[in-house]
Amino acid sequence: MTKGVKWIMFATGWMSFRAIGSSLILFWTITENERAAPYEWIVSLTGDFIIGITALFLVYFIYKKPSAVLWGILLAWNFVGLFDLYEAITTSILVPYEPIPELGLNDFGVKSVLTLNSIIHISAIYLLFQSRIKSYFKL
């Protein structure tokens, strides 16, 4: 297994944290907690939850069952995740949200996390087109 494949596994697994954070914030929103997200954030948070939940399944398949179909799924999954982050960055500009300022998730912290995750998705997309990675996935 090459370093590139290991990075793709890490990058994919990293996105599982999106499910944790978004599920907490969605729960707050449903229960009308004082830390609830503005309703403009619901689409982004739902996208984060879906991307995060599917991440662990994808890591398993990358490790155990690499295939050309999985390569295509990973490519699409990374683009969907990147699009969701773009939408979240746009929303964070239009409707700032500070879910947990005590932990650094103020407006700047939120934008920093969104930017970092975007860079990770872009790096995974780039690596998916490398010949050694494509051969791992039997392309």
Q: State the Cα–Cα distance between residues 101 and 87, nearest whole angstrom.
A: 22
pLDDT in tens, the chain (139 residues): 899 999 999 999 999 999 998 999 999 999 999 888 899 999 999 999 999 999 999 999 999 999 999 999 999 999 999 999 999 999 999 998 888 877 778 888 889 999 999 999 999 999 999 999 999 999 9
Supply the pLDDT for residue 131: 96
Supply the pLDDT for residue 49: 96
Report the phi/psi class of residue 128: left, alpha or beta, with left for phi > 0 and alpha for psi in -120 to 50: alpha
Long-range pairs of 33-37 with CB within 8 A, sequence gap ≥ 24: 35/99, 35/100, 37/97, 37/99
Query: What is the identity of the amino acid at 53?
Result: I
Query: Are the C-beta atoms of 61 and 70 separated by less than 8 Å?
Result: yes
DSSP 36: P
Query: Phi/psi of residue 105, each to 5°?
Result: -90, 60
Q: Which residues have a Cβ under 8 Å from the Cβ of 56 and sit 6 or more positions away?
A: 13, 16
pTM, entire model:
0.91
Supply the pLDDT for residue 102: 79
Supply the pLDDT for residue 98: 85
Query: Are the C-beta atoms of 97 and 110 separated by less than 8 Å?
Result: yes
Supply the pLDDT for residue 103: 78
